[in-house]
Amino acid sequence: EVQLVESGGGLVQPGGSLRLSCAASGFTFSNYWMHWVRQAPGKGLVWVSRINSDGSGTTYADSVKGRFTISRDNAKNTLYLQVSSLRAEDTAIYYCARMGVDGATPDYWGQGTLVTVSS
Amino acid sequence: QSALTQPASVSGSPGQSITISCTGTSSDVGSYNLVSWYQQHPGKAPKLMIYEVSKRPSGVSNRFSGSKSGNTASLTISGLQAEDEADYYCCSYVGSSTAVVFGGGTKLTVL
């Protein structure tokens, strides 16, 4: 069974940083590209970032470019998102998701970790 | 990249059919047969219901179907059931530099 478990969220002040983690199991993690998607409270899904299977290629939404960094450790079956220079508008549930067989959109999703940016 | 356009809400009675539209542009929905649909119940993670416009993952009811015409994709749910009440999101590939874009979401109410 595919499982994705996020952690690392919490309350952080504007300008602060966090590292989000996503522990993967139930599939060969090193074979899959991965996404981060976020959802502000009461709002819709917004794509954040994507990384290829060996970590050599990354893509970001314009809204987070230069502030967020996606990475992975295939030996630990773990995906990361370093979030920095945080703003109030970054407050959201952050989901990690596996890229599906279509090679583009997500298929399996984790339960998410909440990041709250507030003073 | 702008979000895909979905109606904010749709409703239907048990047993009826409803359709949710997802309108993009010639740069996303219109260019690729890489449209997915997700169901999200309150407080839960999204669940993949349709991928590649019209394919159903294993375990998803055949009451769910997808289609596309031009820049608009659609999700149809037939034989509405109470448990179908949820938010639904479309998602389209938009190319290697931006990856994917989501719709704004549609709240389905089963009357």
- Chain-chain contact of B89 with A102 (C-beta, under 8 angstroms): no
A1-48 pLDDT, tens digit each: 999 999 999 999 999 999 999 999 999 999 999 999 999 999 999 999
Beta strands in chain B (DSSP E): 9-12, 18-23, 35-40, 47-50, 64-69, 72-77, 86-95, 99-102, 106-110
Q: How confident is the model at residue B97 (pLDDT cuts 50, 70, 90)?
A: confident
pLDDT of residue B19: 98
Contact B66/A at CB under 8 A: no
Contact A104/B at CB under 8 A: yes
Whether the pLDDT of residue B16 is over 80: the answer is yes
Q: How confident is the model at residue B20 (pLDDT cuts 50, 70, 90)?
A: very high
Whether the pLDDT of residue B98 is over 80: the answer is no
| Contacts of range B65-69, beta carbons closer than 8 Å, 24 or more positions apart | B66/B35, B66/B37, B68/B29, B68/B33, B68/B35
pLDDT of residue B30: 94
Q: Select the residue of B98, B99, B104 nearest A44 (Cβ to Cβ).
A: B104
Q: Select the residue of B32, B44, B105 nearest A44 (Cβ to Cβ).
A: B105
Structure tokens at A59: 């893509």
CB within 8 Å of A74: residues ≥ 6 apart: A29, A30, A53, A54, A55
- The bridge status of strand A68-73 relative to strand B9-12 is unpaired
